[in-house]
């Protein structure tokens, strides 16, 4: 099938850039109507415009995923505009700061957990009642930092471990409803967040590349392809998994 998501609706949080944007465009190319949620409204509408120019259907909803009222309003708007939702990708997240655990800012730690963990939990709470109706799918964006330690980034690592825990727990709870829930765990990827960190510290960039057996970064499209696959019928027997896409990092 050239359009496996025809007549389906995909919601992507954090869909204005990086992996979220790549996922939104990939869903649209495969026939889905796409709802993009993010705080970056100008960039979000630009993604919508790209989808529309390619002949697809898309809508942007400005949303702070850490605020339950906004998330529930987001879901109501998705249903009002498209009538259903079949796949939800929870991609919104932040990286925090780089500091040793004993020097890490409590304020930053709380913010990372609020967006990366509470935000995913709030989104799943709001999404699941609608996905029960369509026997839909969720993919949460975790990280290889959710599978192993990530020195200098205690909050980020803790948050992504938590995302995997939320994913596995919900997958078991809702499997009898026909819902599949998985996480993808990207390694270092060419996204605005990573590229900003690399530009700020050239030695850090060299260290990162040496840590990847493939000696390169992933592209956002490579991650998006796995996200969309996990939402497809080709992945119909996959649930509760944390899939590493990391160029071999976790194999070492």
Which strands, in side-by-side order, build the sheet including 58-62?
58-62, 33-38, 9-13, 87-90, 137-141, 180-186, 242-245
139-149: average pLDDT = 98
Residue 204 scores a pLDDT above 90: no
Residue 78 belongs to a domain: yes
Question: Quick one: pLDDT at residue 25?
Answer: 98
Buried b (16+ CB within 10 A) or exposed e, 73-101: ebbebbeeebeebbbbbbbbbbbbbeeee
Render pLDDT for 167-179 as a digit per residue (tens, 0 to 9): 999 999 999 999 9
For position 27, which CATH number holds?
Answer: 3.40.50.720
Residue 211 belongs to a domain: no
Render pLDDT for 147-162 as a digit per residue (tens, 0 to 9): 999 999 999 999 999 9
At which residue do the structure tokens 């944390």 appear? 242
- Which tokens sit at 165? 């825990």
Render pLDDT for 180-192 as a digit per residue (tens, 0 to 9): 999 999 999 988 7
Residue 29 belongs to a domain: yes
d(Cα 118, Cα 220) in Å, to the nearest integer? 24
Residue 215 belongs to a domain: no
Assign 249 a pLDDT band (cuts: 50, 70, 90): very high
Question: Number of C-alpha atoms within 13 angstroms, CB side, residue 13?
Answer: 31
174 is an active site residue: no
Question: Quick one: pLDDT at residue 206?
Answer: 84
Closest among 45, 8, 251, 55 to 148, alpha carbons compared: 251
Catalytic residue among 104, 130, 156, 174: 156
Residue 209 belongs to a domain: no
Residue 90 scores a pLDDT above 60: yes
62-66: average pLDDT = 98
The number of domains in the chain is: 1
Give the mean pLDDT of the chain: 96
End-to-end Cα separation, the chain, in angstroms: 37
Question: Quick one: pLDDT at residue 202?
Answer: 74
Residue 119 belongs to a domain: yes
Range of the domain at 20: 9-189+220-245
Q: Count the neighbouring beta carbons within 10 Å of the beta carbon of residue 209.
A: 15
């Amino acid at each position: 099938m050239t359009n496996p998501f025809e007549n389906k609706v995909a919601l992507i949080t954090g869909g204005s850039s990086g992996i979220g944007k790549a996922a939104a465009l990939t869903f649209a190319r495969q026939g889905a109507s796409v709802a993009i949620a993010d705080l970056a409204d100008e960039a979000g509408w630009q993604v919508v415009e790209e989808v529309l120019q390619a002949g697809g259907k898309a809508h942007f909803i400005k949303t702070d995923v850490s605020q339950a009222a906004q998330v529930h309003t987001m879901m109501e708007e998705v249903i009002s505009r498209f009538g259903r939702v079949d796949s939800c990708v929870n991609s919104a997240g932040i990286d925090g700061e780089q500091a040793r655990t004993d020097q890490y800012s409590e304020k930053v730690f709380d913010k990372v957990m609020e967006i990366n963990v509470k935000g995913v939990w709030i989104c799943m709470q709001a999404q699941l009642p609608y996905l029960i109706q369509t026997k839909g799918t969720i993919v949460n964006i975790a990280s290889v930092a959710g599978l192993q330690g990530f020195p200098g980034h205690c909050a980020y690592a803790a948050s992504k471990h938590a995302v995997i825990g939320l994913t596995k727990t919900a997958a078991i709870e809702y499997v009898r409803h026909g819902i599949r829930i998985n996480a993808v765990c990207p390694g270092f990827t060419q996204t605005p967040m990573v590229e900003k960190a690399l530009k700020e510290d050239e030695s850090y960039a060299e260290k990162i590349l040496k840590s990847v057996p493939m000696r390169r970064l992933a592209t956002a499209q490579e991650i998006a392809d796995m996200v969309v696959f996990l939402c497809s019928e080709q992945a119909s027997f996959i649930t509760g998994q944390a899939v590493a896409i990391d160029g071999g990092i976790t194999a070492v």
